[in-house]
Structure 1
Amino acid sequence: MVTQAPTPPPAGPEIVRKVLLPLSVPALVVGIGSALLYLGISKLADRLQDLVWDTLPDALGIGSYSSLWIIVMLTASGIAVGLVVWKVYGHAGADPAEVGLGGAPIKPGVVPGLLLASTLTLAGGVSLGPENPTIVSAIALTFWLGRMVLPALPGALWVSLATAATFGALFGTPVAAALVISEALASKAAPGLAGGGLWDKLFAPLVAAGAGAMTTQLVDHPSFDMGLPPLTNPGYEDLLAALVIATLAALFGLLACYAFPYAHRAFHRLKHPMLMLPLGGLILGLLGALGGRLTLFKGLTETKELVQSLGTYGSGELAKMAVVKLVALLVAASCGFIGGRVFPIVFIGAAFGLCAQALVTEIHPAVAVSAAVLGMVLATTHQGWVSLFIAAVIAASPAMIPLLVLASLPAWLVVTGRPELELDEHGDSLH
């Protein structure tokens, strides 16, 4: 039997006309939609946060961030999220400890419960961010709607567009999305686009990411600029400091990665969300009372405040914040709260770096903070490009980029092959 040879993928000008241009419109729609989803959830969580952390305690004559209110609010958050996980359709999706930055689409009917649990988590002061549930929700809705409207397009393409769009919206720039997608391309073909070069494969995800980033910029004006003093002329001492701090921060981050499966198993022995989450909320309340207001919430605003108060806190206080936030992140991710782990990790890295700078005042603050964030994100995510991107954005100094690239190398030797801050379906660490 003679079989017909497969049709070769389009190349050259044909790929522009037949593939890239037709993908632009759905990519733009996905980018804008994903950004609006992220912004909507963030704004709702902010309003609820203002209500329960400012308006309500003021009305009751209680200090907003008194130890008692922190403990009460975090425990109440555990109860509220526990009820959603227990009673709402879909139980707010998969175990958040097993959810990374992306993945296969979930059923669209699960998305409302997932977003509700995420909103309650964000507003309640839990040490988790919006990135994981937002990306999962965007993927689910994009895949569902995309397959209905344009069923001829591969399902994997919708997943890549939603992932890239949400990364663009979260960070306010398409660069992070380009780095994430290109990292994925190193191990497998780009979803939904056979043939072509790297930028052909990146074209549609970058359109989605750019649309998502611009939508966020126009609506919310986000900024990752922490206000660090710029480093314009780094020297050998700055390179040495970056190498040492990034490596030490990576080792510090690995502590949580090794402890994660044990903490997860300990909470899951309770077997019921109305036991796991209220207990986790109580522990988070006690940790919040110990660490103070800055160790609550997702951590981005708190990171800016911490960095801009350079010189206010001593090394002991900064070390306490880093440890408390790390333990809080571990507890929140283990007991079932719905949220991402990247934003709290950035706060931990910043506190670690400022602690190092307080101990050795000759270290430039931009070197200390960005190198520590680099090491922390690298240890917990094992995503090199994303780690470099976040550290470079925080440094806000082009002269820092060579230092950060070099600092990532010994840190990578420390973390490669080690556990990351994510579990598989059996509750074991991913490597």
Structure 2
Amino acid sequence: MDGEPPPDGPGRVPEADTGVLLHSQGYLALLLAAALLGIPLSIVVFGFLTAVHELEHLVWHTLPASLGFEELPAWWPVMTLGVAGVLVALAVTRLPGRGGHVPATGLTVDVTPPNQVLGTALAGTASLVLGAVVGPEAPLVAVGSGLALLAVRRTKLSDDAHAMIAAAGSAAATSAVFGNPLVPVVLFLEVFGLTRRDTMLLVLPCLVSSGVGALVFTGLGDWTGLEIGALTIPDLEPAGLGMAGVVWTLPVAAVVAVATWAVFALGRRTARLAASRTMVVTVAAGLLAGGCAAVYAVVTGHSPEEAALSGQVTLPELATHPEQWSAGALVMLLICKGIAYGVCLGTFRGGPVFPAVLLGAAFGILASMWLPGIGTVSGLAVGIAAGVAVTRLPITSVVLVVLLLGDAAASQMPIVILAAVTALVIDELLMARTRDLTRGA
């Protein structure tokens, strides 16, 4: 940026000069640019999310009904995910950027070159619409970043300024999909792992762009009546936190952490196979994920849609009407969606957070059925916090749970924090153990 003090190393500014830089004309101009970019970016992303939402409804509701099916056939996801495997594999092998990052590695917020936006958007759309068990957050991060850089490509900004503009674009793109514009800002800071100086410089553009984006999303939603499919839970009744709930927090969080870690281990293994045989492995993963959804539908009598897709549609029903699932149905949901989630993490393109939220919620509801003293709200709090923490986002998991639970979160904060910390520690131990075994082999 113009007027930036001499660096204290590659791309670094001394801590003492942070206050000067924050008040510099170049940085204030960057904040204005972030705010202005938030408007067109949010309009474009609103259109993208609306299209994905409408296409999902077309594929999973309108088309089966037009073919004469009163209920979604159990085999439907086998067909859709098989097609998705072909389309995603073509995007990965034929288009720049390989369709975006592999979600099995966790959520990344790397700068996306503008020439990779199309491939990322196409691979993400095919994955999301046709039933892959991934979330929309990763494609939005990449699309927002790439479009923001495209908008400022002819400017003479420094590399640091370009990185901040890209982050602001990603924040604007994801400002509504998590149900609150604060979540992407916290997520970005956690993933970047910045110093105090860099945090100060990055947080303001992201906050400005995310806030503007949320306003645009809200206005467009009210004006058009269209939906984008944000991750939300309707209002839950506040519930007290008993001693039994606290006692069960650690073992429940540990089980969720181990299960989610195993899913990601499956994803990493699948990703290694897909790296050399992209088409074969991606199509096979799609057929396997679709088969898992079909088995779930046949065994439980529920819609196969619940075991496919990102989980954002199923989450509100599960959280507010858990009585619609028996304990056996929840076990089957965890097994079938967990396997589908694992193979999709390694082959399809999307984010890891949304399915982790749904599986954590299912674990929590199951715990509230089986374990004495755990209410539904406490089960949700522990399960979601532990599930998202294993995606390497422990702070984001706490913030996300609090926002999802709304007024009901106030009494659950102690177990939310305990669950996130427990899951993170177990994940680190398992990762270290895996590394030791790999070295030993």
TM-score bin, normalised by smaller chain? 0.7 to 0.9
**1:176 positional shift:** 1.5
Taking the aligned partners of 1:72 and 1:162, their CA distance within structure 2 comes to 35
Structure 1 counterpart of 2:109, one-letter code: G
Following superposition, the deviation at residue 228 of structure 1 comes to 6.2
Deviation of residue 56 (structure 1)? Answer: 2.2
Tell me the percent identity: 23
Give the direction of change, closer, same or farther, for the CA distance of 1:327–1:228 in structure 2 (3 Å limit): farther
Report what 1:393 is aligned to. Answer: 403
**2:250 matches 1:243:** yes
Q: How far apart, in 2, do the equivalents of 1:38 and 1:81 lie?
A: 20
Does structure 2 retain, via aligned residues, the 8 Å contact 1:378–1:411?
Answer: yes
Q: Is the 8 A contact 1:382 1:416 kept in 2?
A: no
Specify the alignment match of 2:309 in structure 1.
297
Please say if residues 231 and 354 of structure 2, whose CA atoms lie closer than 8 Å, have aligned partners that are also in contact.
no
Distance 1:117 1:360 in 2: 41
> What do residues 362-381 of structure 1 show as CA deviations (whole Å, max 9, x unaligned)?
411111012111111111x2
Where do 1:248-397 residues align within 5 Å? 248-268=255-275, 271-273=277-279, 275-291=280-296, 292-334=304-346, 336-360=347-371, 362-379=373-390, 381-396=391-406, 397=408
Secondary structure of 1:100 counterpart: coil
- 1:29 & 1:170 partners in 2: Cα distance? 20
Corresponding residue to 1:141 among 115, 130, 147: 147
Equivalent in the alignment of 1:38: 45
1:17 positional shift: 5.6
- In the other structure, the counterpart of 1:22 is 29
Q: 2:117 aligns with which of 111, 115, 130?
A: 111
Letter in 1 for 2:424: W
Q: CA RMSD in A?
A: 2.9
Query: Bigger shift: 160-169 or 178-187?
Result: 178-187
Using the size of structure 2 for normalisation, the TM-score is 0.82
Instruction: Work out the CA distance in 1 between the residues paired with 2:105 and 2:251.
Output: 31
SS at match of 1:300: coil
Other-structure match for 2:58: 51
Change (3 A) 1:231 1:245: farther
Tell me how far 1:180 sits from its aligned partner: 2.7
The equivalent of 1:156 in structure 2 is 163
Give a deviation string over 1:264-283, Cα, whole Å, max 9, x none.
334445x142x222222211
Letter in 2 for 1:79: V
What is the correspondence of 1:65-144 to structure 2 with a 5 Å cutoff? Answer: 65-98=72-105, 100-106=107-113, 108-144=114-150
**Alpha-carbon distance in structure 2 between the residues aligned to 1:29 and 1:179:** 21
Residue 69 of structure 1: how far off its partner (Å): 2.2
The whole-number CA distance in structure 1 between the counterparts of 2:125 and 2:383 is 29
Secondary structure in 1 aligned to 2:153? helix
> Whole-Å Cα distance in 2 between the matches of residues 358 and 341 of structure 1?
27
* C-alpha displacement of 1:186: 5.0
Q: Could you tell me how far apart the structure 1 residues matched to 2:248 and 2:275 are?
A: 41
Q: Render the CA deviation track for 1:191-233: whole Å, top value 9, x for unaligned.
A: 5xxxxxx656522221112112222233337765424643343
Cα distance between partner residues in 2 of 1:90 and 1:414? 33
Give the CA deviation at 1:33.
3.5
Code of the residue aligned with 2:118 in structure 1: it is P
Structure 1 stretches lacking a partner, 5+ long:
192-197, 421-427
- Aligned ranges for residues 201-212 of structure 1 at < 5 Å? 201-212=202-213
The amino acid across from 2:341 in the alignment is L
Q: Distance in 2 between matches of 1:53 and 1:355?
A: 27
- Determine the C-alpha separation between the residues in 1 that align with 2:220 and 2:369: 37
The one-letter amino acid paired with 1:409 is V
- Partner amino acid for 2:122? L
Query: Matched residues in 2 for 1:312 and 1:119: separation?
Result: 30
In the alignment, is the contact (CA less than 8 A) between 2:240 and 2:411 conserved in 1? yes
TM-score relative to the length of structure 1: 0.84
- Give the AA of the match of 1:209: S
